[in-house]
Amino acid sequence: MPFLIKDLHQDYAGHPTSGGSRSLAKVVAGEHATVVQRWIDAGLVIFGKTNTPEFGAKGITEPELFGPARNPWDLGRTPGGSSGGAAAAVAAGIVPVAGASDGGGSIRIPAACCGLFGLKVGRGLIPAGPVTGEQLHGSATDGVISPGAYGTPP
């Protein structure tokens, strides 16, 4: 299944993880993040990374590095943030599900903005690492964004 990962803490070996920041745009990951390796082991085919605000610090996805993400249902609106690139890709039908992460609404806000389902799992169910430990003292976890129970909005 085609899959996109978030350009924040979801490292893919040999490729940069910028976190939406120019300062990290050329820093190449030496190994896959644990969650990314598990997705690969489960058979997902990762073919890119999704846009995120710089360091995931906003509820909108408008980094200077890659420019703003737009809500595919109304290009004048935001897909939310910080997993706004993931939500926009799923809502546009690019992928059936995309990697996301959430510490303060970063899965839930984009899911709501784009009419999607966001899964933020409880602490400790998806491991962080191997390069970093738990983010935001454990309140931030990896998850996914997918179409809702009734599919994506018309």
Residues identified as active-site:
6, 82, 106
SS3 147: strand
In which order are the strands placed within the sheet that holds 141-147? Answer: 45-50, 2-6, 98-102, 141-147, 116-120
Residue bearing tokens 């299944």: 1
Determine what percent of the chain falls in helix, strand and coil, rounding each to the nearest 5: 20, 25, 55
Distance CA 45, CA 97 (A): 11
Q: Give the largest Cα separation in the chain, rounded.
A: 41
Q: Which residues contact 70 (CB under 8 A, 6 or more apart)?
A: 76, 77, 78, 79, 88
